[in-house]
Chain A
Amino acid sequence: MKKLFSYHEMYVFLAIVIVALAITAINPSFFTLENLFDMLKSYSLIGTFAIGVLFVLISGGIDISFTAIATITGYITAVLLLQRGDQLNIYIIFLIAGVIGILLGAFNALIIYFFRIPSIITTIATLNIYYGILTVLSQGKWLYGFPEWFGKYTQMYVFTITNANGISYGLSVITVFWFALLLLAWFILRFTVLGRSIYAMGGNIASASRAGFNLLKLHLFVYSFMGLMAGFASVIQALLVQTVAPNSLVGKELDVLAAVVLGGASLTGGTGSVLGAVLGVTLIAILGNGLTLMHVPSYWYKVVIGIVILISVGSSAYRRKISTRRRVIIEVE
Chain B
Amino acid sequence: MERKYSDSLVLLLTLAGVIGLMWLLNGSDFMNLGYFQSMAFQLPELGMLSMAMMITMLTAGINLSIIASANLSGIVMALILTETIPPEATGPGGIGLIIIAILAGLLVSALIGLLNGFLVAHLEISPILATLGTMILVSGLALAITKGYVISGFPPAMKAIGNSSLLGLPVPLLIFAGGVVILSVILQHTPLGNRIYFLGSNPQACFYSGVNNPQILMRTYLISGLYSGAAAIIMISRFNSAKADYGESYLLLTVLVSVLGGVSAAGGFGRVSGLVLALVILQIISSGLNLMGVNTFLTLALWGMVLILVMVIQYLIERFQEKRRTI
Whether B138 lies near A267 (C-beta < 8 A) is: no
In Å, the complex CA distance between A45 and B252 comes to: 26
Q: Does B123 belong to the interface (CB within 8 Å)? A: yes
Whether the pair A314, B252 counts as a contact (CB closer than 8 A) is no
- A297 contacts B300, CB within 8 Å? no
Residues of A contacting B25 with CB < 8 Å? none
* Residues from 249 to 284 in A contacting B, C-beta threshold 8 Å: 254, 257-258, 261, 266-268
Give chain B residues whose Cβ lies under 8 Å from the Cβ of A258: 132, 136
Q: List 8 extra interface pairs beyond A124-B251, A128-B301, A313-B130, CB under 8 A.
A: A124-B255, A133-B297, A299-B144, A299-B147, A302-B137, A303-B141, A303-B144, A310-B133
Name the CB-closest residue of A to B294. Answer: A136
- Residue numbers in B under 8 Å from A158 (CB-CB): none
Which partner residue on chain B sits nearest A314 by CB separation? B123
Residue of A nearest to B296 (CB): A132
B143 pairs with A299, CB closer than 8 A: yes
Task: Determine the main DSSP class of B at the interface with A.
Answer: helix
Task: Determine if A122 is an interface residue (Cβ-Cβ < 8 Å).
Answer: yes
| Binary contact track B138-169/A, C-beta < 8 Å → 1, others 0 | 11110110011000000000000000000000
Asked if A18 is an interface residue, CB under 8 A from chain B, the answer is no
Q: List 20 A-B contacts (CB under 8 A).
A: A116-B315, A117-B265, A117-B312, A120-B128, A122-B308, A122-B311, A124-B307, A128-B300, A129-B301, A129-B304, A129-B308, A131-B297, A132-B297, A132-B304, A266-B126, A297-B144, A299-B144, A310-B130, A310-B133, A310-B134
Q: Which residues of B contact A191 (CB under 8 A)?
A: none
A317 touches B123 (CB 8 A): yes
Interface residue? A91 (CB, 8 A): no
The residue on A at minimum CB distance from B143 is A299
**Interface residues as binary, A12-47 with B (CB distance below 8 Å gives 1, 0 otherwise):** 000000000000000000000000000000000000
Chain B residues with CB under 8 A of A128: 249, 252, 300-301, 303-304
Contact flags B101-144 to A (C-beta < 8 A → 1, else 0): 00000000000000000010001111011101111111111011
In angstroms, how far is the closest chain B Cβ from the Cβ of A180? 30
Asked if B295 is an interface residue, CB under 8 A from chain A, the answer is yes
Q: Interface residues of B toward A: which range?
A: 35 or more
Given contacts A117-B265, A321-B123, A302 and B252 within 8 Å (CB-CB): no
- Contact of B231 with A by CB under 8 A: no
- What's the minimum C-beta distance from B89 to chain A, rounded to whole angstroms? 31
Q: A133-B301, A135-B297 are in contact. Are A254 and B132 (CB under 8 A)?
A: yes
A124 to B134, CA, bound (A): 18
Query: Is A306 an interface residue when CB atoms closer than 8 A count as contact?
Result: yes
* Contact code string A297-325 (vs B, CB < 8 Å = 1, else 0): 10111111111011001100110110000
- The answer to whether A132 and B301 touch across the interface, beta carbons within 8 angstroms, is yes
CA distance A248 to B266 in the complex (A): 34
Instruction: Write out, one digit per residue, whether chain B residues 244-255 have a CB within 8 A of any chain A CB (1) or not (0).
Output: 000001011001
Given A258-B136, A314-B125 in contact, is the A125-B308 Cβ separation under 8 Å? yes
Give, as a whole number of angstroms, the nearest-CB distance from A163 to chain B: 35
Query: Which residue of B has the minimal Cβ distance to A305?
Result: B136
List residues of chain A with CB within 8 A of the CB of B140: 299-306
Which of B129, B301, B315 interacts with A136 by CB under 8 Å?
A: B301
- Closest chain-B Cβ to A94's Cβ sits at a distance in Å of 27
User: B281-321 CB contact bits vs A (8 Å, 1 = yes)?
Assistant: 00000000000000101111111110110011001100000
**Which single member of A120, A261, A303 contacts B62 (CB below 8 Å)?**
A120
- Chain B residues near A130 (CB-CB < 8 A): 301
B280–chain A nearest beta-carbon distance, Å: 21
Q: Is the interface of A mostly helix, strand, loop or mixed?
A: helix
Known A121-B307, A126-B304; contact A313-B315, beta-carbon cutoff 8 A: no
Flag if B132 contacts A257 (CB, 8 Å): yes
Complex CA distance for A241 and B155, rounded to whole angstroms = 46
Q: Is B259 at the interface (CB under 8 A from chain A)? A: yes
The complex places the Cα of A259 from the Cα of B128 at a distance, in Å, of 15
The digit string for A95-139, where 1 denotes a CB below 8 A from any CB of B, is 000000000000000010001111011101111111111011000
Closest to B312 in A: A115
A135 — which chain B residues lie within 8 A by C-beta?
297
Q: Is A54 an interface residue (CB 8 A)?
A: no
Option from B135, B136, B298 in Cβ contact (under 8 Å) with A132:
B298
Whether A62 sits at the interface, judged by CB under 8 Å, is yes
With the chains together, A320 CA to B259 CA distance in Å? Answer: 32
Instruction: Give the Cβ gap from A169 to chain B, nearest Cβ, in Å.
Output: 32
Q: How far is the CA of A309 from the CA of B130 in the complex (A)?
A: 9
Q: Chain A: which residue is nearest B245 at the CB level?
A: A251
* Closest chain A residue to B295, Cβ basis: A136
Contacts A122-B308, A299-B140 known; A306 to B252 CB distance under 8 Å?
Answer: no
**A262 CB → nearest B CB, Å:** 10
Contact of A313 among B133, B249, B307 (CB under 8 A): B133
The one of A125, A127, A267, A314 in contact with B128, judged by C-beta atoms closer than 8 angstroms, is A267
Which 5 A-B residue pairings sit nearest by Cβ, starting from the closest? A306-B137, A132-B301, A302-B140, A303-B140, A129-B304
In the complex, chain B residues whose CB is within 8 Å of the CB of A304? 140
Contact yes or no, A321 B136, CB < 8 A: no
Shortest CB–CB separation between residue A252 and chain B, in angstroms? 12
Q: Are A261 and B298 in contact (CB under 8 A)?
A: no
Contacts of A124 in B (CB 8 A): 251-252, 255, 304, 307
CB distance from A106 to the nearest CB of B (A): 15
A254 neighbours in B (Cβ, 8 Å): 132, 135-136
Give A315's nearest chain B residue, CB to CB. Answer: B123
Residue among A120, A128, A268, A314 with max Cβ neighbours from chain B (10 Å): A128
